[in-house]
Amino acid sequence: MQTYNLEADGLRGLNSTLQAQSSAVTEDNWEVVNPKGSHAIACGLNAPINVTVNGSTGYYCAGMNQLASVHVKGSVGPGVAENMMSGKVIVEGDASQYAGATAHGGLLVIKGNASSRCGISMKGVDIVVHGNIGHMSAFMAQAGNLVVCGDAGDALGDSLYEAQLFVRGSVKSLGADCIEKDVRPEHIEILKDLLARAECDAKPEEFKRYGSARQLYNFDVDNAQAY
C-alpha cells in the first residue's frame, strides 16, 4: 500500500498522483493520512484503485468518481460522491448535505447519518444510508435507488421522477408528487442486494417504498399548487 501524507505533500499532488493511475496503474492500494478536513480529496479518479482516507474530509470528497473505491474512515462535508459515474464510496461516519448529488452510477454507502438533500437529482446511483436523512432528500431524483435504514425528514422525494426510495423508519412528510407504493418481490431482491453490498443487517421486509405519482411530468393547471 502506498501512503500519502496530505498535510506534508499537499492536495494537488495527491489528486494528480491518483488521477495519473488512469493511464497506468502503478499501485492498487492507497492510504491518505492527515486529511484534516481538506476539500476535494480523491476527486476525478478514473482507475480501479482502492483509496482509504484516514480521517474526516471537507466538501466534494470523491467527486466525479469512476471505477475507484474510496473508503473514508471519518465523516464528510457537503457533496460527497457528487456526479459519481461508477465505483464505490464508503463513509464510516456522517455526511453533510447533498451527498451523492447528480450521481449517475456506482454505490455510495453512508454508515452514519446524512444531512439535507441526500441524493438530490440522482441519475442512477445507488445510495444506502445506515442512519437518518434530512429534508428534501431525493429532490428531483431521476433514477437509481435510495435506501434509508433510519428516518427521513420533510419533503422526501419532492418532484421525483423514476428513482426508487426505500425507508425503514418514519418519513416526516412526502414532497410534491411522491407517494408510497407497494413493495413487490423484485423490490425485495433489490434491497437484499444493496443491503448486502452496504454491509447492513437490516431486513428487506422492514422497508416501505416511495416513488413518483407521475402527475407533474407535464404542466397541468389543475396541479399548479403542487409545483
pLDDT 10s digits, 2-41: 999 999 999 999 999 999 999 888 899 999 999 999 999 9
> Domain limits of the chain?
2-216
pTM for this model (two decimals): 0.95
Could you report the per-residue pLDDT of 163-200, keeping only the tens digit for each? 999 999 999 999 999 999 999 999 999 999 999 999 99
Angle at the Cα of 148 from the Cα atoms of 144 and 150, rounded to 5 degrees: 175
The topology under which CATH files domain 2-216 is Pectate Lyase C-like (2.160.20)
Give me the sign of the Cα torsion angle 52, 151, 180, 216: negative
